[in-house]
């Protein structure tokens, strides 16, 4: 169970970083 929870937490944190970073990275590209 602990391993699954750790994987979920890692995936969740990575997803948040990708979503937040993606928004900042993709917005300037759309403006261009």
Name the residue with higher pLDDT: 3 or 30.
3
Q: What distance in Å separates the CA atoms of residue 15 and residue 19, rounded to the nearest whole number?
A: 6
pLDDT single digits (tens) 13-24? 988 888 887 666
> In degrees, to the nearest 5, what angle opens at C-alpha 29 toward C-alphas 31 and 13?
120
Backbone angles phi, psi at 22, to 5 degrees: -60, -45
User: What is the reported pLDDT for 21?
Assistant: 78
C-alpha separations of 9 from 3, 14, 17, 23 in Å: 10, 8, 12, 21
Name the residue with higher pLDDT: 32 or 23.
23
- For residue 9, pLDDT over 90 is answered with yes
Q: What percent of the chain has pLDDT over 70?
A: 66
Q: What distance in Å separates the CA atoms of residue 21 and residue 28, rounded to the nearest whole number?
A: 12
């Amino acid at each position: 169970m602990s391993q699954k929870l750790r994987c979920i937490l890692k995936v969740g944190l990575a997803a948040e970083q990708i979503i937040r970073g993606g928004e900042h990275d993709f917005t300037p590209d759309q403006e261009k």
